[in-house]
Structure 1
Amino acid sequence: MEFKEPGIGCEMCHGPSGGHVIEMSEHDYHPKEPLDPPVNFHKIDSRKFVAICAQCHMQSAIRNPGPDGELNYVSSGEFFGNRLRQPFGEFSRKGFYKDGRFRQTTFIVEALERSQCFKKAELSCGTCHDPHSRDSASNPTSLKFRDEPDLMCTGCHTQFRDAVAISRHSHHAAESEGSRCVSCHMPRIMDALLFRARYHQIDDIPNAEMTKRFGPEESPNACLLCHTEKNAEWAGQQLSAWKPLRANAR
């Protein structure tokens, strides 16, 4: 077995599993709860799922070493712990846009937790990502639906599986990039050093007023990422014109 990144192995996500290995080796298996290592991600709730991913992907988590110097787990209770958080005001201003959104991918869990899909539904990292993907060489972000990204959303938002409905909603041709859910609601505005990652507050909506106020560098607008020849004034006019059409379509 080869791991793509140092420090990321089975136990990083599934928890300390030495006891499980001994049980299986001695054919002395005992029933366990889904959250007991090795964690069964298919049977835990979305909050626990995200909390395990947050070990690495939550910048604001406070990581105090345990009694044996451990940082990535705790030796009692749930191995991933219930970490305290550092106030955002204590971080460098460079980590945030002036409109309040996160600029850096190190805050990717914090962005996800702002989503209504997380707050009110069962969204987790595993909804869209599969860390065991078989095409990892060509799919470095482990997307489940790399070639059909709308499936990440239409599994729940079933009304947009229909081409006519999605075109009416997006005001773009159904097969165009403008009708992909992620183009508007997860724009590529997060700094991942080597590339621009998608914003993970998944219900993000283009806000032309914020872009007018702070400028596109401090309040990037999904519309203007594609329509680069346009400006915030134009985006505002387009979005305002859509509102009565959406109201009538409901």
Structure 2
Amino acid sequence: DVYDVKFTSLEINCESCHGPAKKHATIMSNIVDGIIKSDTDIAMISAVGLSTDKSLDMCFQCHAVKTPLREDYLPGENLHEFYSLKLPLLGNENPFGANGRIQTFGYSLNHLYSDCYINGSMDCTSCHNPHSNDYQDIAGNALIDRFDDNQCLSCHVTKSLDVTAHTFHEEESDGSSCIACHMPTRQHLAIGNEITYKRSDHTVSIPRPAFDVSQGFESACQQCHADISEPQLQSIVEDWYGPLKPLNPVIANRLKINENTLGGDAAKILLQPDHFHPMGQFYNLSYFIKRYLSPGMEYLDTSIIEKLKDYARYEDIDIKALAYAGLHYSQYNNPQIKQFLVNEVKSLNGSEEAVRRRWGLILDYFGSVYFLSGDREKAKICYELASEVLPDDETISSNLKRVQS
């Protein structure tokens, strides 16, 4: 094959974030020449005034682990019509730890597990200047470097009144730095240790030595105090701060599940749609579906069905699609559920294709899990359900033919 590729720059440029600019350039030239009025739509997406999530999407088009849904994405388009940020959590090689610590590339995405995002409005530009690639505070004031505590103190103002009282380390020492405790650098596990590739932990979590080691991570404390055991460090932290702030309930609930937890109990623990934690909710829901549901269940407790319906009404299209798949997968013989899904699809309007892409891919994934485990009958059911959702998808059609042969 011969490819005739033309480009003007391999660098990050204006169009990388703001989208195609030919129309914008023409409009601006016409405004300057007085051909059109200056209040005309300038055909360019500005990052100023974007919601937190839309601002994050501008960065996540590059800086995120994601599943492609469609081709030909251009900056400025709706990222979620082309990619899913949560479908990577569905597989057995989930790139995130229990509270979002990244285990592969795309560490920036664990921002979505941060309290600064969950309970605040932090986006990438809260700390990073997108034009200079330097660091800034929440008001856009330039900072010296990435170690400048004003990244954090511009929001957490009271912590600056007595740094030593908060950190229990001497002011301006390494241990008094905000990022030393809350954004420690971590080697990406998928890379191994032959090549050093450490990046700051964007979950911006509080030090929890015992919890961190239980999840397979070196705690922020032990990075400096390697001569002290994690249990001792945990005791010191509790002596300083008293009982630590509880984990987000979505994360805490996941940790309550063990190999002996029955489906009804798991539903009460995991399926709590009222809590805001999109990444955690997606993982908990996917875990429940994979472990406790199966194709065409003759009986499923109505309380569980109602919880799945609640998730199906989520605005988040990843969670919505996962709930659709769970209901479709487990209750395809239930006429009431089929009608519920029909009505739901009718209400999707402009998001129908994006939801269908996710829904179909999830069912296709379930089919592949069964196929690889040798259960061809259940694999066939899942592929057939997936083909109902995406009848023209070549991969799903191929998988269905394979399992039928």
| 1:14 maps to 2:18 | yes
RMSD: 2.9
Q: 1:209 to 1:221 in 2, by over 3 A?
A: same
Question: Structure 2 length normalisation: TM-score?
Answer: 0.48
Contact 1:183 1:222 in 2 (8 A): yes
1:180 aligns with 2:172: no
Unaligned 5+ residue runs, structure 1?
A: 134-140
2:247 is equivalent to residue 243 of structure 1: no
Deviation at 1:115, TM superposition (A): 1.3
- Would you say how many aligned residue pairs link Structure 1 and Structure 2? 218
Quote the offset at 1:43 in angstroms. 2.3
8 Å CA contact 2:19, 2:74 repeated in 1: no
Structure number with the bigger relative contact order (C-alpha 8 A, sep ≥ 6) is 1
Is the contact made by 1:178 and 1:184 (CA closer than 8 Å) also made in structure 2? Answer: yes
The within-5 A match list for 1:76-91 is 79-82=77-80, 83-84=83-84, 85-90=86-91
Letter in 2 for 1:185: H
| Alignment-mate amino acid for residue 197 of structure 2 | F
Give the superposition deviation at 1:200: 0.4
What does residue range 4-83 of structure 1 map to in structure 2 within 5 Å?
6=10, 8-27=12-31, 28=36, 31=39, 37-65=43-71, 70-73=72-75, 79-82=77-80, 83=83
1:99–1:155 CA distance, 2 compared to 1 (3 A): closer
Q: What does the per-residue CA deviation read over 1:113-146, in whole Å, with 9 as the maximum and x for residues that have no partner?
A: 111211222211001111322xxxxxxx632321
CA distance in 1, matches of 2:90, 2:197: 26
Q: Residue 87 and residue 97 in structure 1: after superposition, are their counterparts in 2 closer, same or farther (change >3 A)?
A: closer
Structure 1 residue 199 and structure 2 residue 198: aligned?
no
Do the aligned partners of residues 148 and 88 (structure 1) sit closer, same or farther apart at CA in structure 2, a change above 3 Å counting? closer
Change (3 A) 1:58 1:186: same
Which secondary structure state, in structure 2, belongs to the residue aligned with residue 189 of structure 1?
Answer: strand
Structure-to-structure mapping, 1:128-147, within 5 angstroms: 128-133=127-132, 142-144=134-136, 145=143, 146=145
More helix by share: 2
The alignment's TM-score, normalised by the length of structure 1, stands at 0.75
Determine if contact 1:170/1:178 at 8 Å carries over to the other structure: yes
Aligned equivalents of 1:118, 1:100: Cα separation in 2: 13
Could you say which residue in structure 2 is the equivalent of 1:138? none
Contact 2:64 2:108 survives alignment (8 Å):
yes
- Is the contact between residue 105 and residue 190 of structure 1 (CA under 8 Å) also seen in structure 2? no
CA distance in 1, matches of 2:92, 2:37: 46
Q: Distance in 2 between matches of 1:10 and 1:167?
A: 43
